[in-house]
Structure formats: C-alpha cells, structure tokens
C-alpha cells in the first residue's frame, strides 16, 4: 500500500473534477484545449520570461472551481471536505455589496496557503453561501421555507465527511482510501438527475437566479471550472473565432504594456443544459436551465494594501471617466489610459513603490565591496526579485462574472437592513479562521528576506516603502 500525501489527493481531486465537468459541459473541454494552445504559443513566443508568474506545468494544470452552498452547516461541511485536500479558507468577499443586481451570497476561497503547496498544485475553489437570512432578498415566509428546504437535503454524506476528517488528521491516505475519497468528493459536486421542483425553482428565480441555483435544487454542483492562461486577450479572440459567445469584456485590469497585476477574467455565456423537472401538474420531464458557464483567467502580481488601494482608486477613476462619456463608453479603453497615468510600468517600479509583493534570492556572488541595502543589491545584480503571483479573487470581478451570466436582474428591497457578515462571522461558521490574503503574501516575502540574509551572510537594509 502506498500512502498518498495531501497534495497528491488535491492533484487527483482537481483532475477528477476536471474530467467529470468536461463530460457535463463539453464546451469546457474546448476552453481547456484553446487555453493549452494559447499557453504553449505564448511560451514559444516569449521564452523564459513567459514563466515569470508560474511554470508552464503549473499554469497548464491550474484550475479554480466555483461552488455554492445554502447554509452555515453546508459551508462548514464543505470546509471539512476541502481541508482533506489541504485547501483552507482565505479571504472574505461580500458579493451582495459588490453586485448591482440580486446576488445574495457571501464567499471565501479554499486554497493551499503555503508556497510549496501552491507550487505542487494550486487548486482553489471559490465558495459562496446563500444569505437566506438577508431580508433585502427574502421575506420572512420565504426565509423559513428556504431554510427548511436546505436543511432537509444532504450535500456531503457521513462516509465522505468521516474519510475527509481522517485524511486531514493523517496528512493523506493510503491509496485505496485516497481513491475512495476523491471519488466521493467529486460525486458530491456532480449534477444530479433528481427532479427539480419547477414551481419552487421559478419562485426563487424571480428574486435571484443565484438563489434558485443554490436553494432551488436538491444538491450542489460545480458552477464552473476555470483554466489559467498566460494571454487572456489571445484566448478571448480564439474563442470568438470558434463561434463561442463570450461576455462583453475581460473583467479586472486592462491589457497594457506594463506588468500584469492581480487577476483578469472572462467567460463564455451560460449554456442551456438539460435538467429533469417535476412540473406543476405532477409530471416529471426534461426542461432546461442556463446557469453554468466557462470562465478563464490570467493571473498577475499580488498587490500590497497600498497597491490594492491604488487599484481600487484606478477602478473608481475609470468609472468616473466612463460616466463622463470618455473613451467612447468602452471600459477597457478608459482603463488603459488610467493605468498608464497611475501605475509604474515596470515590476521594479512596482516594487520600489511598495505596491506589490516579491520574494528575494541571491542571483550572483557579490564581487568587491557590496552594498547592504536591498535596492542597491538588486541594482548591482547580486539579488533577484521575483514577483509573487496573486492567488485570490476580486469581489467586483466575481460580481461581474455572476451578473453577466444572469438573464434577469432579480429583485432586492434596499429599504431593509442587510444581515452582517464578515471575515470573523464566516470564520465562526466554518470553524476555522479565514486567512487574510495580505498576511499570507507578506509572510512569504518576509520569509524570503530572512533566507536572503542567511544566504548573503549579512543583514539587508530595507527601504521603508517595502511592506512586510
């Protein structure tokens, strides 16, 4: 018997979900195929620099999934399943606030948190919980019905949860149990054949298509599985050439000549899928739903809190100019200008301004008299700075992705007071502290600086702008 450590379980889980999702949504396989060729063409054209934000092996295997659950109990159980694969909650996203239309969810992402674990397999799952207790979306009567419907279903059964707990405790499983865990966990996210109550689904859909997708069905499923590409604009054009309708634009930062920051995402529109319904007259038969789509992303450099503040400012500035009629109403055109005016156009510029996170290593032995401050060590070619890739999500892009795939705005009553959710309350629900993404990046940067001092054999003086 062979013992499979956590990271192998995670690798197998990601691969198995990808296989399953491809059989459910064939257009996903097309997306993966196009992504793979975009990546190999990019590496062929750009050479070594292309892999600055992740090796081609990592990027090609890289996926993020999105799932949606209906209650604190279901979220806590999902957390136990993900923990078995070394995926822990990071970041808090309140999409109720980020979205203009009706998206009644709060979210976190389950992902590996250590650099070595991320390098082995970075699989992450954006996980949203329906806020059934938010009166802006659900009346008191509907809340009660919804909560009852959700509490009577089982998304993750006891054998799965027990095996997941064992894998977490032991840091892996012997191979035959590992296989069983991966199979059971994958099956939990498979689309079911159990009939969907048509009247109930439509009632929720009037409020929010997201609420119907979560609380209108007897189980959960992968909403999308997202490959990563090195050139999202190339991907976008190639998909359109294949006749696949993409959403109007790429979400997040624009394409420009400077460094890629954070995360750029786009998707193809939700496809019509067959589902089994129980109709109002009691008959069971086929109908269709449009909720699952294909998303793709390009990842850039992780920003420090100051960098993120600048990003948020640039978004607001882009909005302001768009509203004033600049750029012919095209967001990406305006954003590109705003980027040029505000953001340093080199990685070293970002680093010196304390806007992004980096790791540091010795690149060449020092000759002669060497400086001791970091900037000079880099300028002299003694130390090399490598950008840390952004491993998380963006609330506004997430809201944009949710919204662009809704056929209807839904309804919300903003006169009501919304329920409070925060990183703390969601941590309590999950029973495990949700990590602050900034702390993870800062910790990684600090650890590399500590190692650098050991390797150089002397302390390194750091300018105040660097933030760790």
| Chain positions contacting ligand OOG, by CB under 6 A | 66, 68, 126, 128, 223, 265, 295, 393, 397-398, 401-402
Out of ligand OOG, Ni ion, none, what residue 149 binds, judged by CB under 5 to 8 A for its kind, is none
Residue (77 or 405) nearer to Ni ion, CB: 405
CB of 390 to ligand OOG, least distance (A): 12
CB of 364 to ligand OOG, least distance (A): 39
Out of Ni ion, ligand OOG, none, what residue 71 binds, judged by CB under 5 to 8 A for its kind, is none
Helices 175-188 and 6-24 meet at what angle, rounded to 10?
40
Q: Phi and psi at residue 378, in whole multiples of 5°?
A: -70, -45
Residue (296 or 440) nearer to ligand OOG, CB: 296
- Asked if 66 touches Ni ion (CB under 5 A), the answer is yes
Out of Ni ion, ligand OOG, none, what residue 445 binds, judged by CB under 5 to 8 A for its kind, is none
Query: Which two three-digit tokens encode residue 10?
Result: 């995670």
For the beta sheet containing 284-289, the strands, ordered from the edge strand earlier in sequence to the opposite edge, are 196-197, 273-278, 284-289
List binders of Ni ion among 273-332 (CB under 5 A).
Answer: 295
Residue 328 to residues 50, 68, 176, 324, 325, Cα–Cα distance (Å): 33, 37, 59, 10, 6
Segment interacting with Ni ion (CB under 5 A) among 27-35, 60-68, 213-221, 304-312? 60-68
Helices 175-188 and 158-170 meet at what angle, rounded to 10?
130
Segment interacting with Ni ion (CB under 5 A) among 59-67, 343-351, 441-449, 455-463? 59-67
- Asked if 391 touches Ni ion (CB under 5 A), the answer is no
Q: Which residues of 422-453 are buried (b: 16+ CB within 10 A; e: fewer)?
A: ebeebbebbeeebbebbebbbbbbeebbeebe
CB of 108 to ligand OOG, least distance (A): 11
Residue (251 or 448) nearer to Ni ion, CB: 251
What DSSP state is assigned to residue 49? G
CB of 120 to ligand OOG, least distance (A): 22
Give, for 5, the enclosing helix (H) or strand (E): strand 3-5
Q: How far apart are CA 319 and CA 325, in angstroms?
A: 10
CB of 21 to Ni ion, least distance (A): 13
CB of 428 to Ni ion, least distance (A): 25
Residue (122 or 172) nearer to ligand OOG, CB: 122
Q: Which residues of 10-40 are buried (b: 16+ CB within 10 A; e: fewer)?
A: bbbbbbbbbebbbeebebbebbbebbeebbe
Q: Which residue is nearest to ligand OOG (CB)?
A: 398
CB of 65 to ligand OOG, least distance (A): 8
Out of ligand OOG, Ni ion, none, what residue 103 binds, judged by CB under 5 to 8 A for its kind, is none
Out of ligand OOG, Ni ion, none, what residue 397 binds, judged by CB under 5 to 8 A for its kind, is ligand OOG
CB of 315 to Ni ion, least distance (A): 19
Out of ligand OOG, Ni ion, none, what residue 102 binds, judged by CB under 5 to 8 A for its kind, is none
Out of Ni ion, ligand OOG, none, what residue 357 binds, judged by CB under 5 to 8 A for its kind, is none
Q: Which of 32, 8, 9 is nearest to 22 (CA)?
A: 32
What residues contact residue 294 under an 8 Å CB cut-off, 6+ apart? 25, 27, 28, 31, 224, 226, 267, 268
Residue (68 or 351) nearer to ligand OOG, CB: 68
Q: How far apart are CA 431 and CA 427, in angstroms?
A: 6
- Asked if 62 touches Ni ion (CB under 5 A), the answer is no
Q: Which of 276, 166, 293, 286 is nearest to 225 (CA)?
A: 293
Out of ligand OOG, Ni ion, none, what residue 393 binds, judged by CB under 5 to 8 A for its kind, is ligand OOG
Residue (66 or 271) nearer to Ni ion, CB: 66
Query: Which two three-digit tokens encode residue 79?
Result: 């957390």
Residue (295 or 391) nearer to ligand OOG, CB: 295
Q: CB–CB of 104/93 below 8 Å?
A: no
Residue (266 or 304) nearer to Ni ion, CB: 266
Residue (226 or 403) nearer to Ni ion, CB: 226
Q: How far apart are CA 366 and CA 362, in angstroms?
A: 9
Out of ligand OOG, Ni ion, none, what residue 223 binds, judged by CB under 5 to 8 A for its kind, is ligand OOG
Residue (34 or 125) nearer to ligand OOG, CB: 125
What DSSP state is assigned to residue 143? H
Q: Which of 97, 103, 65, 108 is nearest to 431 (CA)?
A: 108
Q: 175 by DSSP, 3-state: which? A: helix
Residue (401 or 442) nearer to ligand OOG, CB: 401
Site string for Ni ion, 200-239 (x = CB under 5 A): --------------------------x-------------
Contact residues for Ni ion, defined by CB under 5 A: 66, 226, 295
């Amino acid at each position: 018997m062979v013992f499979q450590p956590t990271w192998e379980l995670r690798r197998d889980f990601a691969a198995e979900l990808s296989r399953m999702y491809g059989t459910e949504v064939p257009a996903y396989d097309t997306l993966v195929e196009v992504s793979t060729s975009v990546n190999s063409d990019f590496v062929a054209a750009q050479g070594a620099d292309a892999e600055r934000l992740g090796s081609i092996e990592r990027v090609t295997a890289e996926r993020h999934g999105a799932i949606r659950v209906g209650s604190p109990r279901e979220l806590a159980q999902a957390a136990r399943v993900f923990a078995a694969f070394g995926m822990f909650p990071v970041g808090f996203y309140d999409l109720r606030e980020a979205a203009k239309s009706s998206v009644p969810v709060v979210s976190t992402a389950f992902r590996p948190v250590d650099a070595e674990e991320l390098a082995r397999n970075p699989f992450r799952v954006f996980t949203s919980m329906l806020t059934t207790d938010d009166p802006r979306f659900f009346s008191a009567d509907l809340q009660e019905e919804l909560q009852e419907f959700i509490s009577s279903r089982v998304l993750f059964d006891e054998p799965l949860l027990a095996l997941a707990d064992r894998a977490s405790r032991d840091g892996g499983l012997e191979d035959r149990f590992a296989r069983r865990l991966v199979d059971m966990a994958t099956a939990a996210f498979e689309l079911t054949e159990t009939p969907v109550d048509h009247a109930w689904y439509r009632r929720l859909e009037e409020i929010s298509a997201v609420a119907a997708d979560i609380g209108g069905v007897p189980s959960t499923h992968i909403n999308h599985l997202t490959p990563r590409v090195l050139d999202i604009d190339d991907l976008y054009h190639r998909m359109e050439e294949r006749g696949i309708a993409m959403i109007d634009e790429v979400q997040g930062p624009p394409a420009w000549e400077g460094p890629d920051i954070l995360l750029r995402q786009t998707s193809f529109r939700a496809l019509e899928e067959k589902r089994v319904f129980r109709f109002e007259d009691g008959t069971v038969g086929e109908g269709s739903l449009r909720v699952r789509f294909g998303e793709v992303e390009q990842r850039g450099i992780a920003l420090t809190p100051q960098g993120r503040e600048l990003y948020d400012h640039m978004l607001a500035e882009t909005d302001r100019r768009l509203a004033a009629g600049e750029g012919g109403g095209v967001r990406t055109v305006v954003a590109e200008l705003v980027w040029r005016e505000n953001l340093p156009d080199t990685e070293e510029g970002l680093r010196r301004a304390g806007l992004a996170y980096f790791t540091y290593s010795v690149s060449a032995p020092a000759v002669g008299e060497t400086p001791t401050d970091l900037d000079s060590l880099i300028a002299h070619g003694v130390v090399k700075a490598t950008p840390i890739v952004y491993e998380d999500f963006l609330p506004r892009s997430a809201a944009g992705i949710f919204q662009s795939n809704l056929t209807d705005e839904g309804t919300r009553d903003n006169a009501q007071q919304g329920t409070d959710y925060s990183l703390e309350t969601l941590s309590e629900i999950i029973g495990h502290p949700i990590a602050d993404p900034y702390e993870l990046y800062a910790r990684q940067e600090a650890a590399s600086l500590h190692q650098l001092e050991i390797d150089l054999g002397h302390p390194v003086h750091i300018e105040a702008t660097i933030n760790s």
